[in-house]
Structure 1
Amino acid sequence: MKINFLKVAIIAFGISTVAISCSDDFVETKFEQDVEQGPLTSLTEVESFTRGMYTSMRSSTYYGRDYGLYAEVRSDEMYSNLYAGYYNTVYNYTMTSSDAYARDTYRQIYTAVAKANILINTDVNGIQGTDADRKAVRYHIGQARALRALYFFDLLKLYGQKYTGGNLGIVTPLVYDPKAMQGRGTVAENEAQIEADFNAGLALMEANIGGSVSTDKVDLTINAVKTLMTRFYLYKQDYAKVRTLVDEIVASAQYQVMPEASYVGSWSASKQNNSIFELAVGVAGANGTDSWGYMFNYDGYGNTVVSPDLYDQYDAADVRSQIIEFTDGEYYLYKYPNLEGSDNIKLIRYEEVLLNGVEAELNGGDPAKALTYYNLIVEQRGLPAASSVDMATLKLERSKELVGEGFRLWDLLRWGDTVPRPAGVSTNPQLTAFPIPRVETDIAGTPIVSNPGYDN
């Protein structure tokens, strides 16, 4: 691999330049310098790199907006009305190898991978401080392993060929080396690396919890890692592992389904009881007109709107229908309602855990437990308890509960369900995968090959 975007090295930084309370963007800004990154030698430096990973994640080209919306505009629950020119090529399957969406998201996720790799390869014995500091560093390394698994998983879903008839996946660099040359692994090899990273990360975190380790909802916790693993194992159709992980998260009794009375307001509030992991944003980190919510709001760009077919599935008493408004002929979703983009990004909610559990229990588990999980949600949405639940019900409930949160395309693909396309666009299945950016495949001597169906 030679990740062209990462050819500049990371600058080493000193404690005197880091202010823990206000340095969330520190690593992000320093990442663009041209001085070789030295080894991390303190817990303070390690914590800054951890925040640097989160900063990469909240970028508008990753979880701050685009990555989630890619899965919505190509789904049956939302679509892009192409207002203001956003997502035209994504929605219409007209991307080229020079497409900015494919290029910029690729760059942002691999930037996060690079930061994770620096953390993962930190020499703990070289950390100055106390044994408790080194214990905390190991916990942070565990977080980085788990987040690298997420980054690789996100890249694989977007650029890999699992659903296009091929077997190529993505590049999986395990050390930070901007001069290295590495080709794409197979989908199977990528999946093995992702699973290994998740397992190693979780083990490190469980072995080193305590001390100065944060349990704040804006930090990746053990339960957050377990939830990310349930996503991966649903994708792999390893339902037994999903069941085990969901059982552990539910048994922790740390979360609850958002109550009906609080549901609407919860979307503009941070660290609610149903939140497992969210990216801290706030005024300083707000993406403004480049935010996820700005794409939803009628008074913003209002680019990505709810399908009328989905809206018609909501019962009149369902509180979730209250955050969808019909204006000028379209249905606008008000998750992330603040136009300045300061809402924390809710990456993992307890409701997702329960829905993952429902699906896993319906596939070789306990149907009664599936019904219990299902009713925990619907009874807090203004609806009566159900007497049964099946896969068709689960699929619809995932759409009604998780609409706009970036799951639907991946759900349709892993279920083998039809992915709708606008009338008149290409039906070439190879275009389901994003193009590998030309700036990557054009590097002299690169072993990275393009995805078929594109112009590189």
Structure 2
Amino acid sequence: MLLSAGSCSNDFVDTQFYQSLPDAPLASINEMNSFILGAYASMRNTSYYGADFIVFGEARSDEMFGNLAGGYYTNIVNYSQTSNDGYANDTYNRIYETVAKVNRVIGVDVNTLPAADRQKALYAQGQAYALRAMAFFDAFRLYGQKYIPGGTGLGIVLPLKYDPTALQPRATIADTETQIDADFQKGLQLMTANGAVSSVKTELTINSLKGLMSRFYLYKGDYAKVRTYTNDIVATGGYSVASRDLLQVSYRYALNGASTNSIFELAVGTTASLGTGSLRQRYNSAGYATVVVSDAAYNSYAANDVRRSLITPLASTGFKYLSYLTTNNGIGKYTQTGGADNVKMLRYEEILLNGVEAELNGGSAAKALTYYKNILRERLADIKDGSGNITQTVQQQMDAITSVNITMLKTERMKELIGEGLRQWDLRRWGDPVPRAGTAKTDPNLNAFPIPRKETDLANSPILPNPGYDNSK
């Protein structure tokens, strides 16, 4: 595949350096850090985590769906993409643009730098390996053949060094997972050896890396590793479940990078706001309003569950919205009108839910219950009768929960993580049905996105397409 370093805005890369020496080896720690920031900028783009990649995980799920408002995500909802599909092409480009940028950092010979900068450079390379693992994992879930019946065991293209002229075939599923694993482990090793634990939430840290690794190993079914990384994060004592009184506030722009439950966010803010390309526009009733909450998801919340209040049913449209009102203090998730909300990449609640699932698969049932109740304790309010008298306190409700099972865990992941882009991938890794619209094609090979035609039809390209699409060979 042909890799482009992409274009970089002035807020993270010195334009003169980047444009005058685009392919020269990076020669300083400042240049290395600039390319790390450049990777974050690619990731927060609308075609990636800024909106589309998250929507892909929701529009094909049981908790949200695309209502085709404004024509957005029609091909996603209907499984009607072609090899020239804009969503498939644009997200592919942004993912591999991210890879290209971090490969520039990985390719630096640290020994050529001043001795005083080498430890920082190694830490930056650790971040680069980890970000590459994230990008490969994202590409693998979208374009890999793990969840289709008609594939030939193909994963994705795995460029391990920056070479804009290189052509290479897709790796196997097994080799793709092995490379993601290796990159995560290399990143953790370098960051741990060359940096300290940091509480910064808008850059990849040792703790946020462990959290992302717990997500990957959960998908891989390596529950022992999930338990290890969950234990490590919990043991830091640096994070807490957002309290029921502050849950709504934790999603607002005012707490960008500051909520106690936040582990990793992609910084956006007003200077880099995503505007009409933001996730807010996709979810908000006053925006495109094109991805809405399913009845089943809404009805799964108890009346005293504070998370129910994040969802707004509108009789005028018949839909239920995860973002509501046209003020910056709106209701739900992603409500800042200009799209300046940071992208919530990893919350403490997800770590606890990962821990629940891992403990239920070969670990401690008691610890799973503790993690589970740690969340519910801050989501359920006292139950009251019609006169306002308390009939059951939160603690009494907690005391009544004496065990947790996988079915309960699956429901809780839906209720807690709705709208955050994980549900489709949860359903697929569990082997559970992924609902399709009545208008959707039924071919299961279309679970995987098409490999863009610009990749498969390139002269001498060794990249094979996915079955079921117009560029299949």
Match of 1:58 among 28, 44, 48: 44
Task: Output the TM-score relative to the length of structure 1.
Answer: 0.93
Instruction: Letter of the 1:329 partner, please give it.
Output: G
Q: Determine whether 1:330 maps to 2:319.
A: yes
How far residue 29 of structure 1 moved from its aligned partner, in angstroms, is 10
Match of 1:83 among 46, 58, 69: 69
Residue 24 of structure 1 contacts residue 55 of structure 1 at CA under 8 Å; is this kept in 2? Answer: no
Cα separation, partners in 2 of 1:170 and 1:28, compared to 1, 3 Å: farther
Match of 1:184 in 2: 170
How far residue 25 of structure 1 moved from its aligned partner, in angstroms, is 3.9
Report percent identity of matched pairs. 52
Match of 1:446 among 444, 458, 461: 461
Residue 293 of structure 1 contacts residue 339 of structure 1 at CA under 8 Å; is this kept in 2? Answer: yes
Between the aligned partners of 1:30 and 1:105, the Cα distance in structure 2 is 27
Deviations 1:404-437, CA, capped at 9 Å, x for gaps: 0000000000000001111142211100000000
Match of 1:375 in 2: 373
- SS of 2:246's partner is helix
Cα separation, partners in 2 of 1:349 and 1:30, compared to 1, 3 Å: farther
Match of 2:213 among 203, 223, 229: 229
Residue 6 of structure 2 contacts residue 97 of structure 2 at CA under 8 Å; is this kept in 1? Answer: no
Match of 1:220 in 2: 204
Between the aligned partners of 2:403 and 2:161, the Cα distance in structure 1 is 49
- SS of 2:11's partner is coil
- SS of 1:79's partner is strand
Residue 62 of structure 1 contacts residue 105 of structure 1 at CA under 8 Å; is this kept in 2? Answer: yes
Between the aligned partners of 1:232 and 1:189, the Cα distance in structure 2 is 15
Residue 28 of structure 1 contacts residue 56 of structure 1 at CA under 8 Å; is this kept in 2? Answer: no
Q: Determine whether 1:418 maps to 2:433.
A: yes
Between the aligned partners of 2:17 and 2:444, the Cα distance in structure 1 is 40
Residue 149 of structure 1 contacts residue 198 of structure 1 at CA under 8 Å; is this kept in 2? Answer: yes
Cα separation, partners in 2 of 1:263 and 1:45, compared to 1, 3 Å: same
Q: Determine whether 1:194 maps to 2:180.
A: yes
Instruction: Letter of the 1:410 partner, please give it.
Output: W
1:14-413 equivalent positions in 2, closer than 5 A: 23-26=10-13, 33=19, 35-128=21-114, 130-131=115-116, 133-165=117-149, 166=151, 167-210=153-196, 215-268=199-252, 269-270=255-256, 271-327=258-314, 328-333=317-322, 334-383=332-381, 384-385=397-398, 386-413=401-428
Residue 127 of structure 2 contacts residue 191 of structure 2 at CA under 8 Å; is this kept in 1? Answer: yes
Match of 1:18 in 2: none
How far residue 214 of structure 1 moved from its aligned partner, in angstroms, is 5.8
Match of 1:19 in 2: none
Q: Determine whether 1:433 maps to 2:448.
A: yes
- SS of 1:261's partner is coil
Cα separation, partners in 2 of 1:231 and 1:388, compared to 1, 3 Å: same
Between the aligned partners of 1:2 and 1:232, the Cα distance in structure 2 is 27
Instruction: Letter of the 1:374 partner, please give it.
Output: Y
Match of 2:393 in 1: none
Q: Which runs of 5+ in 2 are unaligned?
A: 323-331, 382-396
How far residue 37 of structure 1 moved from its aligned partner, in angstroms, is 2.0
Match of 1:2 in 2: 2
Between the aligned partners of 2:20 and 2:165, the Cα distance in structure 1 is 13
Deviations 1:92-120, CA, capped at 9 Å, x for gaps: 10000000000000000000000010001
Between the aligned partners of 1:202 and 1:35, the Cα distance in structure 2 is 30
- SS of 1:163's partner is coil
Between the aligned partners of 1:358 and 1:179, the Cα distance in structure 2 is 45
- SS of 1:260's partner is coil
Instruction: Letter of the 1:278 partner, please give it.
Output: E
Between the aligned partners of 1:348 and 1:427, the Cα distance in structure 2 is 33
Instruction: Letter of the 2:177 partner, please give it.
Output: E
How far residue 215 of structure 1 moved from its aligned partner, in angstroms, is 4.0
Residue 198 of structure 2 contacts residue 206 of structure 2 at CA under 8 Å; is this kept in 1? Answer: no
Between the aligned partners of 2:434 and 2:96, the Cα distance in structure 1 is 27
Instruction: Letter of the 2:61 partner, please give it.
Output: S
Q: Which runs of 5+ in 1 are unaligned?
A: 14-21
Deviations 1:149-172, CA, capped at 9 Å, x for gaps: 010000000000001022101000
Match of 2:389 in 1: none
Between the aligned partners of 1:147 and 1:27, the Cα distance in structure 2 is 21
Instruction: Letter of the 2:336 partner, please give it.
Output: N
Between the aligned partners of 1:27 and 1:296, the Cα distance in structure 2 is 34
Between the aligned partners of 2:22 and 2:39, the Cα distance in structure 1 is 18
Cα separation, partners in 2 of 1:28 and 1:285, compared to 1, 3 Å: farther
The alignment yields a C-alpha RMSD, in angstroms, of 1.8
Task: Output the TM-score relative to the length of structure 2.
Answer: 0.90
